[in-house]
Amino acid sequence: MIRSREWFTHGIKEGVAGMYWDKVHECMDRQQLRELQSQRLVETVRRVYHNVPYYRQRMQEMGLVPEDIRGIEDLPRLPFTTKQDLRDNYPYGTFAVPMSEIVRIHASSGTTGKPTVVGYTRKDIITWSELMARTLVCGGTTKDSVIQVAYGYGLFTGAFGVHYGAERIGASVIPISGGNTKRQIMIMKDFGTTVLACTPSYALYIAETMEEMGIKREELKLQYGIFGAEPWSEGMRREIESKLGVSAIDIYGLSEVIGPGVASECQYKCGLHIFEDHFIPEIVDPETGEVLPEGEEGELVITTITKEGLPVIRYRTRDISALNYQPCRCGRTHVRMKKVLGRTDDMVVVRGVNVFPSQIESILMEIGQTEPHYLLVVDRINNMDVLEVWVEVSNKLFSDEVRKLEELNRRITSEIQSTLGLSVRVKLVEPKTIERSEGKARRVIDRRKL
Amino acid sequence: MIQISVFLENKRGKLAEVTKVLAEHGIDMCAISIADTTNFGILRIIVDDPEKALRVLRQAGYTVNTTEVLAVEVPDRPGGLNRVLDILSKGDINVEYLYSFVRRPAERALILFKVNDLKMAKEILMRENVSVLTEDDVNDLCSK
């Protein structure tokens, strides 16, 4: 039974339909939520222990039996699962059901070796659709929306997740997939697209292409952008919002957990609500694995508690975030994760300093509303790490005076240096020097031969 | 007077790429100057159709801005430029940069100035009877 509490509805106008997709769960009392999580965690642990040899072995190594896990308070006793663990059991070794129960297989890109394979049961697909319906409603989508899915359809989970969620709500789906940008824009204009779903870097690329084609944002009917699959800064959000005339919503997910649909921003854009009735988040120190207190930044770790095909226990996402349990103005009670600040593996270590591309991005945005086109080039010259930051000069930053451009260069250099505590060489480059991607943006080139 | 400024990386062939775009669109250049540093350069040009030049260069993917500059005609003889600079200096006007081109047979030189206070500079030059050119004057010179 769900009790209502005063602050659940605080600040929300009466009669705003479609505000929540699943109010019962999204606004659940936190004590009840904790009980639900405990119960589901206990079931999940029992299931993986009996059905997945990998988990059984790991638990046995630690001297654990399923009965040791009596609730959420015992979660830190369980071993972590990493991407490497899933790869070691490639392709289906960590599935918790027989293949006859699996109705869908997806995989990560696998740019660094074998892909990570994930399997969904029929019920997992339903869960995923529900969670994506929550996500999309959270971001402003309704059954009247026309949603253009410009994530790539294929083994990547992004497009299908959005697709299912949108159909669940009853929105009109345009399954255009990624790429062919001019056609995307034509369709967006002609079909009256109101919601665009793609990666934030692709959204910006679409905006630039529109400028080149001489199409103004007023010619489109876009209202919302549902952007995820890579870290992006607040500055980039402002830029996308002004260029496309949308409210840009950050969504979070990863294929190993379920795909998109793990967490989503609400209209207040003050962190992403993690759907805690399905996932238990933790923040740990990426080096030691120690669980960090609320509010501290560290690596996000997720345990799935309703997945059937591929449950994951304490999965190391490699994404850097922080958790905030304070109630949100939107009325949802689910914990908010801070917008992902970077990835532990996007991070480059230069002369012993951890450098995240997102740090550079925020600095550039603050300096001159720069279109965030930049690249970090790390090299080793005479046994010394050298960090170069290439910045494309936009019309806004450009000046006809050498002095001003040199000042700009100095300013970027000194702000990066004071943030990172590292000397850098900033190079101003022409537009389009840095390769644009239609998927995830590449921000670092590491030329060091270690 | 509208000047077109283009950001260029200091690399071989970069300038030719820009002039090619202008040529293909039939844009006539009346004056050109390049400021360069180790890493980048700024191309400054006066053209017969600045609006079109801005559009086609941006379409071609360049970083391009327009800047208001002062166009002054001086006699092509010793002291011609000096007189103008003197007036500006006395009027407390800073010159950020300048470039020029000389036209024969008119034997007058056209000097383009970027100054810190364009309006004031124009006023004091005209007070001293220096010929400050308008867009049309320069276009006429260009097309002659």
Residue after which a domain boundary falls, among B19, B49, B68: B68
**Together in a domain, B86 and B132:** yes
What pLDDT is attached to residue B123? 92
**Together in a domain, B64 and B102:** no
Contact B96 A401 (CB under 8 A): yes
Query: With contacts defined as CB-CB under 8 Å, which chain B residues touch A429?
Result: 9
Contact B44 A432 (CB under 8 A): no
Q: Give yes or no for residue A112 having a pLDDT over 60.
A: no
Residue after which a domain boundary falls, among B26, B45, B68: B68
Q: Which CATH class is domain A1-344?
A: alpha beta
Closest-CA residue of chain B to A427: B39
The token duo for A356 is 């995240």
Q: What are φ and ψ of residue A145, in 5° steps?
A: -70, 150
What pLDDT is attached to residue B22? 95
- Domain ranges (residues) in chain A: 1-344, 348-446
Neighbouring C-alpha atoms within 13 Å toward the C-beta of A135: 36
**Together in a domain, B22 and B40:** yes
CA–CA separation, B65 and B8 (whole Å): 12
Strands (E) across A152-243 are located at: 172-174, 195-198, 224-227
**Together in a domain, B78 and B121:** yes
- Establish whether this prediction's ipTM goes over 0.85: no
| Angle at the Cα of A90 from the Cα atoms of A85 and A93, rounded to 5 degrees | 80
* pLDDT, tens digit (0-9, with 9 covering 90-100), for A271-299: 999 999 999 999 998 878 999 999 988 89
What pLDDT is attached to residue A280? 98
Residue B3, Cβ density class (10 Å: 0-12 exposed, 13-18 middle, ≥19 buried)? buried
Return the SS3 of A181: helix
**Together in a domain, B22 and B87:** no
Query: With contacts defined as CB-CB under 8 Å, which chain A residues touch B98?
Result: none
Q: Which of B8, B33, B40, B98 to mutate to test the interface with A (most CBs of A within 10 A)?
A: B40
Binned at pLDDT 50, 70 and 90, residue A5 comes out as very low
Return the SS3 of A352: coil
* pLDDT, tens digit (0-9, with 9 covering 90-100), for A308-321: 999 999 999 999 89
**Together in a domain, B8 and B53:** yes
Q: Does A405 touch chain B (CB under 8 A)?
A: yes
CA–CA separation, B15 and A295 (whole Å): 52
Query: With contacts defined as CB-CB under 8 Å, which chain A residues touch B65?
Result: 395, 398-400
CA–CA separation, A179 and A185 (whole Å): 11
**Together in a domain, B58 and B74:** no
CATH of the domain at B59: 3.30.2130.10
What pLDDT is attached to residue A383? 81
* pLDDT, tens digit (0-9, with 9 covering 90-100), for B43-82: 999 998 999 999 999 999 999 999 999 999 888 888 888 9
Query: With contacts defined as CB-CB under 8 Å, which chain A residues touch B43?
Result: none
Chain A to chain B Cβ contacts (< 8 Å): 55
**Together in a domain, B28 and B8:** yes
**Together in a domain, B33 and B53:** yes
CA–CA separation, A110 and A117 (whole Å): 9
* Nearest-by-Cβ selection for A395 from B37, B64, B97: B64
Separation in Å, CA A141 to CA A137, A178, A226, A251, A330: 5, 20, 9, 13, 15
Q: Name which residue leads in pLDDT, A113 or A340.
A: A340
Residue after which a domain boundary falls, among B11, B42, B68: B68
- Chain centre distance of CA B3: 5
Q: Which domain holds residue B135?
A: 70-143
Q: Are B54 and B66 in contact (CB under 8 A)?
A: yes
Give, to the nearest 10 degrees, the angle between helix A357-368 and helix A234-244: 50
Distance from CA of B7 to the nearest CA of A (A): 7
Q: Which fold has domain A348-446?
A: GMP Synthetase; Chain A, domain 3 (3.30.300)
**Together in a domain, B75 and B64:** no
CA–CA separation, A363 and A123 (whole Å): 44
Q: Name which residue leads in pLDDT, A352 or A159.
A: A159
Contact A433 B9 (CB under 8 A): yes
Q: Does A400 touch chain B (CB under 8 A)?
A: yes
Instruction: Tally the domains of chain B.
Output: 2
- Three-state SS sequence of A12-52: CCCCCCCCCCCHHHHCCCHHHHHHHHHHHHHHHHHHHHHHC
What pLDDT is attached to residue A179? 87
Q: What are φ and ψ of residue B115, in 5° steps?
A: -120, 165
Contact B65 A398 (CB under 8 A): yes
Burial track B74-93 (b if 16+ CB lie within 10 A, e otherwise): bebeeebbeebeebbeebeb
Mean pLDDT of A85-90: 92
What pLDDT is attached to residue A395? 86
